[in-house]
Structure 1
Amino acid sequence: MIDLIRLRTFRAVLAAGSVHAAAESLGYTPSAVSQQLQALQKDTGLELFTRNGRGLAPTGVARRFAEEADRLLGQAARLEALAVDLREGRTGSLVISHIASVGVTWIPSVVAALSDEFRDLRLDLRLWEAVQGRDDDVDVEICVAHRDLPARPGFDVEALLTEPYVAVVPRGHPLAGRQAVDLEELAVERWVDNDLTLGTCRLILLEACAAAGFTPGFQYETQDYGAAVALVAAGVGITVMPRLSFSSVRADPAQVVAVELGGTALRRTIVLRTRGSLCESPAVGTVRHVLRGLAGPAGVTPPRDVTV
């Protein structure tokens, strides 16, 4: 078992660049810091530092070891904070990971409801696209269902919304007056990309285009929905995105129009995954209640062949 105090001392030395600087920041003596380093190297069987004149130089092994140490120390810090919250009668903390479009359209209402009901609740909000479901300490996750979605053993899963994609076109575009268009009709258009991470939503789009017999020609590549819609407003091309994503942009209707794509092939399902051990948590119950209301019963379509 690795001692956390020794691990923190190691990270302090690595960050400060010397034993003396680390000792000063930690409030230890230099000899105590050196003893902690020696004990950690003995515990792990790793050579973490080598002599460099009168100082120490980290080895390559030390830097790799530090990456995992940071994760462990972060989890320990969150556990310590939770213990303090519970000891002092506060509600605790909640880590919520969400996709970008939900962050603008739904998360403000979720946070407002939690703030009203649980004033001492500590919230950690994370962008799902930035971590791609790799954050092990997440409590609530709002993401897009797909066969490649990383598994969450021990989590409860609920489909919130199955929604269509829309084609965003300039106000004067020939398709702007249509109620719906077929995906194949967009094959000849100049496309504006809008996906920062080339993630699940883009993969769903590419698979639907492949099934329709073409590959979209992304002539302009941007990294967010807002920038893509701004290019459409400038008249340089069209872009395709989920309906909720378009809502998150709050585009000027005098400049662009969102036309729904017909058929059933191009859909995404937003799912809510919550840690099973928190199923009785009042805060998680509030999150579920608010999200269900925002998604709306009319918008929920049972997904077919969806892995969550």
Structure 2
Amino acid sequence: MQVLRAVVTSGSVTAAAANLGYTPSAISQQVSALEKEAGMPLLERAGRGVRPTEAGRLLSDYAAAIGRTVAEAETALTDLREGRAGRVTVRYFGTAGAPLMAPTLARLRETRPGVRFDLHLSDPHDPLPEVQQGRADLAVVVRPSIGEPAGVRLIPLLDDPYRVILPAGHPLAERDVLALGDLADEPWVGSERSSDPCQAIVLDACGAAGFTPKFVVESGDYATALGFVAAGIGVALVPRLGLRAVPSNVVVREVRAPEPVRSICSAVRASMTVPSALNALIDALGEAALALSDHRSFISDEPESAPTA
């Protein structure tokens, strides 16, 4: 059909052969084969050249449309291959949203405007099965204590250390740094759900310090835990990414011996060939995490409104 179109637009078999780099005999054979398939003549003599019959004009017009569609498909495929188009589905947890995902998405909208990034909150569900089963292209997760899950590749982003949250006026607030064991006899406000892998990080650290925390409240999220601490109910451990809105009547202190830390990673399928758009997301997340880890841009351990020791 494209050969027929070349003959129709050039007006002769000889001119079409010269344009396409074929012999006139090869062009005539192609047209004859197409006429046999069509069951009717496609060209007729017109002086020294040829002109299309009604069927020839019909097929020539369709050949032009097909050519445009093929060109569009080639362009779209190139854009997809080079990461200028496509769709990437992402799962993330709440405290990674504002400090990590927001700047990442803002950067990608500038550098990859043709790519659609669909972000979905995974709390309180574990997003790793969705990555394993291909329902999500990437998930931002806390590294599981059991190690790297089967079928998933974890890409480290940043370490998020826990901080001790104390009511204002608490005797331990006079210290800049606390040993975890100093909190052994304190009433505790649980800041995470019992099914959350982050709570295992806290419990393991307390176990290494020789005690099991005495929880008097299970709040299930960091903002609620901060409210209970502000009311003087107990103390809590909250990761730094969870300290986005710290009440004025609590203090935040570093903790050591040991320091609980959660490792935040990107998770992708281990078996997949990573497309360019997903690679761009992985790189942008790494850059956002690096900026976040910088001491000057990380969340302050001691908000200006909080009392100081």
Contact 1:128-1:143 within 8 A present in 2 as well: no
Q: Deviations over 1:13-41 (max 9, x none)?
A: xxxxxxxxxxxxxxxxxxxxxxxxxxxxx
Equivalent in the alignment of 1:121: 115
Deviation at 1:123? 2.2
CA distance in structure 1 between the partners assigned to 2:290 and 2:88 by the alignment: 19
CA distance in structure 2 between the partners assigned to 1:115 and 1:207 by the alignment: 40
Deviation at 1:143? 1.4
Equivalent in the alignment of 1:27: none
Equivalent in the alignment of 1:288: 286
Q: Percent identity?
A: 29
Contact 2:157-2:286 within 8 A present in 1 as well: no
Equivalent in the alignment of 2:69: none
Change (3 A) 1:202 1:152: same
Deviation at 1:298? 10
Letter in 2 for 1:99: F
Secondary structure class of the residue paired with 1:172: coil
CA distance in structure 2 between the partners assigned to 1:154 and 1:224 by the alignment: 27
2:274 to 254, 275, 278: 278
**Aligned residue pair count:** 212
Letter in 2 for 1:104: A
Deviation at 1:99? 2.6
1:198 to 187, 195, 199: 195
Contact 2:193-2:199 within 8 A present in 1 as well: no
Please tell me the root mean square deviation across aligned C-alpha atoms, in Å. 2.9
CA distance in structure 1 between the partners assigned to 2:77 and 2:168 by the alignment: 58
Deviation at 1:244? 2.0
2:104 to 95, 105, 110: 110
Deviation at 1:202? 0.3
Deviation at 1:221? 1.3
Where structure 1 has 5 or more consecutive residues not aligned to the other structure, the ranges are 1-82, 300-308
CA distance in structure 2 between the partners assigned to 1:198 and 1:251 by the alignment: 25
Give runs of aligned pairs for residues 170-181 of structure 1, distance below 5 A. Answer: 170-181=167-178
2:166 to 164, 169, 172: 169
Contact 2:145-2:197 within 8 A present in 1 as well: no
Contact 1:129-1:197 within 8 A present in 2 as well: no
Deviation at 1:265? 5.0
Please give the TM-score of this superposition, normalised by the length of structure 1.
Answer: 0.61
CA distance in structure 1 between the partners assigned to 2:156 and 2:77 by the alignment: 35
CA distance in structure 2 between the partners assigned to 1:297 and 1:233 by the alignment: 26
Equivalent in the alignment of 1:227: 224
Q: Deviations over 1:38-72 (max 9, x none)?
A: xxxxxxxxxxxxxxxxxxxxxxxxxxxxxxxxxxx
Equivalent in the alignment of 2:57: none
